[in-house]
Amino acid sequence: MRSIEHFVGGHSVAGTSGRYGDVFNPSTGAVQAKVALASAQELDRAVENAAEAQRDWAKVNPQRRARVMFEFKRLLEANMDSLARLLSSEHGKVLSDARGDIQRGLEVIEFSCGIPHLLKGEHTQGAGPGIDTYSVRQPLGVVAGITPFNFPAMIPMWMFGPAIASGNAFILKPSERDPSVPVRLAELMLEAGLPEGVLNVVHGDKETVDAILRHPQIRAVSFVGSSDIAQAVYAEGARHGKRMQCMGGAKNHGIVLPDADLDQTVADVIGAAYGSAGERCMALPVVVPVGEKTADALREKLLVAIDALRIGASEDPQAQYGPVVTAAHKARIEDYIRIGVEEGAELVRDGRGFSLPGHEGGFFLGATLFDRVRPEMKTYREEIFGPVLQIVRADSFEQALELPSRHQYGNGVAIFTRNGDAAREFVDRVEVGMVGINVPIPVPVAYHSFGGWKRSGFGDLNQYGTDSVRFFTRTKVVTQRWPKGGAVTDQSFVLPTMR
């Protein structure tokens, strides 16, 4: 049985807690590896190692730190296929989707290559008589990231790329469900020239997370996961004086106006709802057609597309989506489907009972479609995180606009229309953090920032982009004067002003 250990100080370090978790192959259902789960004492040793490495790393000038990022980018591109296969084998997403996972993380590394410019402060000459004022951005020290199973390459790179480029050392606690790719990324960073100890991977569960949130030397924590846990992590970390950014769950809506190109809309919705088996915080699990005529036409086209979907093992190049990550998660999704039926929604396609020939033990679900879902239903209010699409019919533009605006989550939303005026009004009024216009998954490019509203995000600064540099640095403002002598007064007793 393969054992996945911690990566600390540039080396694989065997776990000493005696606790291990199972890592499955979702396509077969078999346990393929054991992953070490760290104790608080093991985390403490990793933090001490990181703190020592960070002192020298912070002294490296930004241009040299950027060169490490450039080389890491080259190594990612050279190892793309092997990384994608490793990712697919533990997560279950198909190879093309796994490459996309890596590519979106790589784009944040590209952004981080511009760190010499991003760290530049501000300067005012002559702010007062003989006085200049300037600001500098300095690293925090040791920072940490707690990442989810659904993007084991992209989200770690969202976090550690800007953090390390800014001069910090990083402790990564990836999901214990698919931990191999994060370890491989750390190995490639070392190969790219990153000093030992600047990037450490510590596997674990709640015990490890709690230790991260309470450790006095960890200055900031970035987290992505479900909203209930994000809120609890945010509160606990803040209670211990840490800078926190915590991204939570989602229930993204796709509003379909009567003038939308339905063929293009259906193609977009199918991919956004069922891609990666719906295990994306930016998936599109709710579609809101405006008017009964639009709803009926959309439903008809959706059924044709759903029936043509190809579900397969993660290594199948023809598959459009693969299994979900664990048997427990599959059971959770099936329970939501049961609840939807009990609530009175119309189950148009039922994905339960799907079995892939030759992979009968795999964690597969067929594509599920509900129609006539109502806002008061539990299955609408909560995040299902699986291949389940819900149709919520709206009578008007105003009613469609209210649905995502009033929902507890505010991560992403999309509107499908040819009407520029309607789209502009929608963008202006909808209470959601990321909006797509005829774009079903509006994840911003790497030089903007990712983050939702309401219970989809806790904290003032978002992931990647310039927000990430602000999050992983602190500003120091210097006011300086160089007196010529011979002009001593008693003005030092007065609060300085610029008069």
Nearest to 432 by CA among 333, 295, 286: 286
Q: How crowded is residue 93: how many other Cβ atoms within 10 Å of its Cβ?
A: 31
Q: How many CA atoms lie within 13 A of 320 on its CB side?
A: 19
Quickly list H helices, 92-205: 95-112, 115-118, 154-165, 180-191
The CA–CA distances, whole Å, from 406 to 34, 410, 432 equal: 43, 9, 10
Element (H, E) at 287: strand 286-289
Would you say 431 and 327 are in contact if contact means Cβ atoms under 8 Å apart? Answer: no
Catalytic one of 281, 295, 325, 446: 281
Question: What span, in angstroms and rounded, lies between the C-alpha atoms of 407 and 239?
Answer: 28
Q: How many CA atoms lie within 13 A of 482 on its CB side?
A: 3
Burial 235-258 (b: 16+ CB within 10 A, else e): ebbbeeebbbbbbbbbbbbbbbbb
Identify each DSSP E strand in 140-263 by its residue range: 142-146, 169-173, 199-201, 218-224, 243-247, 253-256
Dihedral pair phi/psi, residue 223, rounded to 5°: -135, 145
- Our measurement of the distance from residue 220's CA atom to the centroid of its chain's CA atoms, rounded to an integer in Å, reads 17
Would you say 323 and 363 are in contact if contact means Cβ atoms under 8 Å apart? Answer: yes
281 is catalytic: yes
Element (H, E) at 333: helix 327-343
Beta pairing partners, 286: 253, 390
Question: What span, in angstroms and rounded, lies between the C-alpha atoms of 354 and 297?
Answer: 27
Length of the chain in terms of residues written: 499
The CA–CA distances, whole Å, from 492 to 275, 295, 344, 495, 496 equal: 66, 74, 75, 7, 8
Residue pointed to by tokens 């990793």? 46
Residue pointed to by tokens 């199973």? 149
Which residue numbers are catalytic? 281
